[in-house]
Structure 1
């Protein structure tokens, strides 16, 4: 019988196992226009933490005692949709479960070719699009500029590092620990800050960028955002993608250098990848050129088994992932 993770209690701070339950899904026949999909790969992402709170946001909160959802790729195993025959490889948003029934309009066929299916949950999917448009559209980053990227060893951050280098920028990345900092350096970062080191972040960024930064791509918030404010050049642009430091925090972040927004004429803009769905062709062409040129490395942290999906999700908040965090079924 198919199973799915359910949210049974709103988390208070960092989620715990008791907030969730893995339950059987009721069996039912397909309606006309639906497909049954055996999920092969699931995506877990930091934004899902916000959906566990009952607050108004850009995406509806998870309902209590109902199956959760998220990005997934899988194979059609039963179909009542003529254009999605059995065996079709698809991408959809009914993750956090091993089997899904989805209307045909809610799935996207995966392209034919040698690219692994799970790549469409990462660098060649919404993760890569987030990096692409956040850097090049929201922050309007240009060749020759200096870009600071927080969580540079994560899925979005590592994509930003490589896109920025391919576009001729100087890149400073932040990551935690020797292994991750070395990896970020290996994918092209000119300087890498170990935020777990002994040097305060604001001082470390000053040493890495003595002339300041032009662009900050924020995945973290907190001390990283404050350090970026401290070292922003006049006219700097900040693309605010995520603030993982605050997702489980009970107290608001204090920014000592916030007033530099005025003096340095800093432009800060939050964004969501869905803002750019009408421009997906630009991403496919541009990222395709980078990948085809051999200038992009995909990195994945894979957790196996539906029963370990929660472990994979919680690992995002303790830095367990290098690159994209995925669950393999």
Structure 2
């Protein structure tokens, strides 16, 4: 394969806007052609995609009019998401052939990227490169900023994390333990509960699917109430948490995965608790905290090297498996951070 050759380029194409639960058929495996050379005078970079990240927020981009700042996918075009890539040609002075980067790319084998401000050079290669789709990438920064900046935690506080074995949740719990908090998480299977307790160091964990009454379950696990709740689920879980928050508790709203595929979202009933308990509930997105990435990277990389933080990935091989992997997030079939291996370096 010579420089400038035109080669085939497998892609995952977004078929059309989705209502309700997405299906694999909403994403089509296709093949196009791409020239392995950046055009004369262009400041774009050409990358070979190595790892792609499956993240719940991608479901919102499948809607015709997604709420908030995230734009819809374009029907007939490749899915866009975070990934780890290797630069094979560059017209940009800040990037050179052979550089490893993470950031926004397309679900395809090769991508020509003009939005180079969305790419970050990979500094440390003494950890798995796939970690930059999760632990050292967007989900990791989400966990770090959401917990430390939004939750305003204090040593000894009672912390609850829902979807606690996922890409973000598994880190929130570990950051909380490192700070000296008492941490309980919930997940949707006994296997995940065991991970929380035996791998990530949670003080306790429970399978929410086996709890007929979430309010009673939380009262059992938090007899003195919850100081900090890291919200990943929404719906009835949020309702139950509100009843069990302590005075002046904090809730960081990171996601509400239980609501993403509903045509009529669940109506939360216990919002008056925000007043009676003087609770602060704040939503956030990771882009609010991009400026914290350098300090997050240094701290978390050190934690990894010292064996203070662990991370679990659920990996599938092959671009063609990406649609099923993404949909699996909404059925809870993944155990840990969902990663798609497109190619090996």
Output the TM-score relative to the length of structure 2: 0.91
- Residue 99 (structure 2) pairs with residue 92 (structure 1): no
Contact 2:45 2:90 in 1 (8 A): yes
Aligned CA distance change for structure 1 residues 65 and 246 (closer, same or farther; 3 Å): same
Contact 1:151 1:157 in 2 (8 A): yes
- Residue 20 (structure 2) pairs with residue 13 (structure 1): yes
* Counterpart in the other structure of 1:80: 91
Match of 2:133 among 114, 117, 121: 121
- 1:92 deviates by 2.7
Output the aligned Cα RMSD: 1.6
In structure 1, what is the Cα distance between the partners aligned to 2:292 and 2:259?
Answer: 30
Contact 2:228 2:249 in 1 (8 A): yes
| 1:164-199 C-alpha deviation (Å, 9 max, x unpaired) | 001100001001111110111111111112111144
- 1:200 deviates by 1.8
* Counterpart in the other structure of 1:202: 215
- Residue 78 (structure 2) pairs with residue 67 (structure 1): yes
More displaced, 9-18 or 107-116?
107-116
Aligned CA distance change for structure 1 residues 267 and 297 (closer, same or farther; 3 Å): same
In structure 2, what is the Cα distance between the partners aligned to 1:174 and 1:157?
Answer: 9
Aligned CA distance change for structure 1 residues 198 and 40 (closer, same or farther; 3 Å): same
Q: SS state of the match for residue 215, structure 1? A: strand
Q: SS state of the match for residue 217, structure 1? A: strand
Contact 2:184 2:205 in 1 (8 A): yes
In structure 1, what is the Cα distance between the partners aligned to 2:196 and 2:257?
Answer: 19
Q: SS state of the match for residue 100, structure 1? A: strand
| 1:289-319 C-alpha deviation (Å, 9 max, x unpaired) | 4323311111000011100100110010011
In structure 2, what is the Cα distance between the partners aligned to 1:178 and 1:323?
Answer: 13
- 1:26 deviates by 4.3
| 1:29-49 C-alpha deviation (Å, 9 max, x unpaired) | 522222221111000100000
In structure 2, what is the Cα distance between the partners aligned to 1:80 and 1:276?
Answer: 29
Contact 2:161 2:173 in 1 (8 A): yes
- 1:83 deviates by 4.3
Q: SS state of the match for residue 308, structure 2? A: coil
In structure 2, what is the Cα distance between the partners aligned to 1:83 and 1:262?
Answer: 50
In structure 2, what is the Cα distance between the partners aligned to 1:135 and 1:296?
Answer: 15
Contact 1:241 1:270 in 2 (8 A): yes
Count of aligned residue pairs for this structure pair: 329
In structure 2, what is the Cα distance between the partners aligned to 1:83 and 1:264?
Answer: 51
In structure 1, what is the Cα distance between the partners aligned to 2:89 and 2:32?
Answer: 17
In structure 1, what is the Cα distance between the partners aligned to 2:120 and 2:302?
Answer: 22
* Counterpart in the other structure of 2:201: 188
- Residue 119 (structure 2) pairs with residue 107 (structure 1): yes
In structure 1, what is the Cα distance between the partners aligned to 2:206 and 2:23?
Answer: 30
- Residue 292 (structure 2) pairs with residue 284 (structure 1): no
Q: SS state of the match for residue 262, structure 1? A: helix
Q: SS state of the match for residue 2, structure 1? A: strand
Output the TM-score relative to the length of structure 1: 0.95
In structure 2, what is the Cα distance between the partners aligned to 1:26 and 1:84?
Answer: 24
Contact 1:303 1:327 in 2 (8 A): yes
More displaced, 112-121 or 74-83?
74-83
- 1:82 deviates by 4.7
